[in-house]
Chains A and B, each alone.
Chain A
Amino acid sequence: MSNLLPTRILKETQRLMQEPVPGISATPDESNAKYFHVMILGPSESPYEGGAFKLELFLPEEYPMAPPKVRFMTKIYHPNIDKLGRICLDILKDKWSPALQIRTVLLSIQALLSAPNPDDPLDNQVANQWKVNEAEAIKTAKEWTKKYAIDSN
């Protein structure tokens, strides 16, 4: 299986393991080298601080010509992430470029946690709450972080 793996994916995996990005870990699945178990730590000074968020990342057959598929496994209260953990991020859709990497994608997701963008919402309810009453929304996000991303780990 790994013999058939493109050089590109091999090199990316090696680098992810050898020089991990602070606050992010990505480990390929033992049986499927295109499936990654990802953990992103909530950035400091964000409502997600202290939380550890599990994600799954899958490289489709066409990768790197097509973007990786990424999804939050841990429940999270965020205007750009919906109930199923799907992420509204341009580089995962039409702004994807083959020159981007797993590393850059995960960094962008980390940045999205620091700076939620309610004007480009995926979950309208959450986004509305964020716009109408930001303090309340941040409070809910903190509660969810405590409930799903700290205690259960």
Chain B
Amino acid sequence: MSVQLNLGDKLYINDEKSTEDLDQNYDDDYDDEDDQYNYDDDHNNNYICDSEGEMDDDNDIFQIDPEIFEYEIYPMNKIDSILDKKCEKILNALNLDDPLDSLYLLKQFNWNPKTLLEVYNKDKSSFLLTYFSDDNNNNSKKSSSIHKNKLVSYLNIYSESQIGSRIKKDAVKCKNIPVESYCNICCSSRTSSEMLSLDECGHLFCTECWQMHFESLIGNSSGHFFECMQTKCNVVAGKDFVLKCLENTDSNRIEKYKKLVVLDLVNESEDLQICPGELVIKAKNSIPSTPKTHVSHFKLISTVTSTPTVSFNFKSTSPVTELPQETKKCDSIVWIKNKPSAKRVVCTTCETQFCFLCSTPYHAPNNCSTIRKWNLKCQDDSETRNYLLVHTQDCPKCKVCIEKNGGCSHMTCNRCKHEFCWVCGNDWKTHGPTYDCNRYKGNSEQDTAREALNRYTHYYHRWINHSNSLKFEKALREQCQLKITEKIMNKEGGTLVDWEFLTEAVDILTKARYTLQYTYPYAYYLESNEVKMLFENIQAELEREVENLSHSLEKVNLNDKFNIKIQMSIVEKRRKTLLKDFFQ
């Protein structure tokens, strides 16, 4: 794909060179804590003036874009290098030798070196006391051969990492196995070389049974930590033990297991996320996309003084015919550089745009739960919503959506292992026999069904309308490129530089309309009060400017350039103003 929306995000492509550059950047970020976006003072001053003073100043364009979000995109099999960098950073900053210590510390801070270092820098001595006092250390080392297993499990998933190579591996070994052994699972006699046990519990079973046990779990689990086969033995097998048992397993299943390891690590890491997008691996007879136009390809000199008109005919842009495509999950890993928030990530591999926190389409100014509610509501007419209401619930602790797959009300969250009651949502442990969870908790609101529906329709209509317009703007953008090229090639007028602003205008329009679309669910859930009135004023202003710009772009004339430029900067200002509060 040649078209890349410039969304103002500082985006780093993950080739070797830029990764190195980035490391440099990452380091810098830690040094200047106050100035997190590294904008120079001029811009900051502008920002402050603007927010107090009047509007429509050309300097508005420098107002910090609240949507800015820094991150790197890695293919899944480069996860080892991410962990390597994090550990290295901690080892250096805290002057530690044992890589295991860096793993242990990172785990305490949700694998986010940034928060770890913030706490550390606030009070170094008390930090060290908390995490490295003799007491603590002994405790953690004693109680934690299991701990160590769990930490080390995240190393060397796809390749030997630097940190991984520095940690002594406890070879999978078994002492004192009788030469003649018997496996209780398959009820067969085995030789000692065919038997294996986990160090921590010593329960011996044959490798074949271990293999089948793990294969079965890989097919049915959402995590990678598997328990010993012995009844009531809770000892957990780490990645190295499992992989040893899977030596004769087909590579697909091993890959699936490695993915489970990565997913566990990503779930535990607050600065990582998996791209939810899809990649086309084989497109049959794919239609080539619009050729890339690039400034440097054209060195035409303007010789025409007349003002040509570029018109865009929406109807002629038939969408690319959908051909049967083979796709696979993108599964790229996003590593963010700022604080985790509901900001936009654009995957450089598959171009999917999504919210960092919830992996659904980016949805500012809504928070993740609001947009989820809204999306459920929009599926109202189908049976899906009813199904979700009846059969799924969010885990009260980690908010992951859980499907009820049996009649039992005692639920255990697959992800965080939280146990709760399906009926009342309370913690299962506090849920004694006296607890009444059958009481009907309906709301007494007199909202008639029709009234509610009308209200909903109002917002839904506008939401869908902007969503449709966005599809046109995508076409508009492609046409824009074509028309510009055409006009210039035909020497009808203007140079590429003269027309360049059009591309930028479409970008600005698209970005603003996207935000506008998502203001409707937000407003729908706002309580009717002054805050809502204020919000709807800002929304109306943005909407008006977006429609103005959109209209101006439909039939554009070179004479309009100046006016359009002004419209562009107003739209930008409105969008930033609207989002400023949300991201504060």
Contacts and interface: CB of A to CB of B under 8 A. Distances in A.
Given A65-B216, A98-B185, A121 B408 contact: yes
Contacts of A8: 185-187
Given A11-B187, A99-B185, A131-B433, A88 B231 contact: no
Given A11-B187, A65-B216, A122-B407, A99 B438 contact: no
B409 A124 contact: yes
Nearest to A90: B410
B433 A118 contact: yes
B246 to A, nearest CB: 14
Nearest to B230: A99
Contact of B186 (A6, A94, A104, A123): A6
Contact of A99 (B212, B231, B431): B231
Interface string B453-495: 0000000000000000000000000000000000000000000
Contacts of A119: 431-433
Contact of B409 (A93, A104, A121): A121
A7 B408 CA distance: 34
Given A8-B187, A128-B438, A65 B212 contact: yes
A86 interface: yes
B406 interface: yes
A99 B407 contact: no
A18 to B, nearest CB: 15
A62 B432 contact: no
B213 interface: yes
B192 interface: no
A120 interface: yes
Contacts of A64: 185
A62 B216 contact: yes
Nearest to B215: A65
A129 to B, nearest CB: 11
Nearest to A91: B231
A46 interface: no
Contact of A7 (B188, B212, B231): B188
Interface string B231-251: 111000000000000000000
Contacts of B91: none
A97 interface: yes
Given A119-B432, A124-B423, A98 B209 contact: yes
Interface in B407-442: 407-410, 412, 423, 431-433, 438
B231 A100 contact: yes
Contacts of A94: 412
B229 interface: yes
B229 A98 contact: yes
Interface string B172-197: 00000000000011111000000000
Nearest to B188: A7
A88 B410 CA distance: 9
Looking at B215, B229, B412, the one whose CB has the most chain A CB atoms below 10 A away is: B229
A138 interface: no
Nearest to A62: B216
Contacts of A12: 187
A141 B496 CA distance: 86
A97 B232 contact: yes
A66 interface: yes
A106 to B, nearest CB: 15
Interface in A6-25: 6-8, 10-12
A62 B187 CA distance: 15
Contact of B187 (A7, A86, A100, A123): A7
A86 B406 CA distance: 9
B216 A66 contact: yes
A92 to B, nearest CB: 10
B325 to A, nearest CB: 34
Contacts of A98: 185, 209, 213, 229
Interface in A93-123: 93-94, 97-100, 104, 118-123
Looking at A65, A82, A121, the one whose CB has the most chain B CB atoms below 10 A away is: A65
B229 A93 contact: no
B327 to A, nearest CB: 30
B575 to A, nearest CB: 48
Interface string B211-224: 01101110000000
A46 to B, nearest CB: 19
B410 A120 contact: yes
A64 B409 CA distance: 26
Contacts of B188: 7
Looking at A62, A99, A118, A119, the one whose CB has the most chain B CB atoms below 10 A away is: A99
Nearest to B233: A97
Contacts of B433: 118-119, 131
B230 A88 contact: no
A118 B438 CA distance: 14
A99 B432 CA distance: 31
A93 B410 CA distance: 12
Nearest to B229: A98
Contacts of B432: 119
A94 to B, nearest CB: 7
Nearest to A131: B433
Contacts of A122: 406-409
Contacts of B407: 82, 86, 88, 122-123
B456 to A, nearest CB: 32
What are the 3 A-B residue pairs with the smallest beta carbon separation, nearest first?
A65-B216, A97-B231, A88-B408
Interface of B: 184-188, 209, 212-213, 215-217, 227, 229-233, 406-410, 412, 423, 431-433, 438
Given A88-B406, A119-B431, 10 more contacts: A65-B217, A86-B406, A94-B412, A97-B233, A98-B185, A98-B209, A99-B229, A100-B231, A122-B408, A128-B438
9 contacts: A6-B186, A7-B186, A8-B186, A88-B406, A99-B230, A119-B431, A120-B409, A128-B438, A131-B433
